[in-house]
Structure 1
Amino acid sequence: MTPLERYQADLKRPDFFHDAAQETAVRHLQRLYDDLVHAQNNKPGVFGKLFGKK
C-alpha cells in the first residue's frame, strides 16, 4: 500500500479527518516513494553491471 493509498483509506475511518497540510505532506511523501520505487526498478542487474556502458 502506498502512502497516498494509506492516507485515503484512513480518511474513511470515523476518527480520522481531512487536513490540507497533512494531505500536502502525504503527496510529497508519495512523490518520494514513487521516485525510490522507480530507481529500484531501473537498477541494473548482474549482467547490466558486467556489460553496461560506463
Structure 2
Amino acid sequence: MKKFKEFFKKYACNVSAILLTGVLAGVATRGCYFVYYQPEVPENLKNFSKNK
C-alpha cells in the first residue's frame, strides 16, 4: 500500500494532465467539425431571415 501511495503522489499530476488533454482534444474536435462541416442552410430559413 505504501508503494501505491508513493506512486500516486509521484504521477497523479501527470496522469491528470494527460486525461485532461484527451478530454479537451475531443471537445475541440467536435467544435471544429461543426464549424468546418456545417450543412447548407435550408431555403425556408433563408426566406425567413430575409422577411424579418
TM-score by structure 1 length?
Answer: 0.48
> In terms of Rg, which structure is larger?
2
Higher relative contact order (CA 8 A, sep 6+): 1
| Structure whose residues are more often helix by fraction | 2
TM-score by structure 2 length?
Answer: 0.49
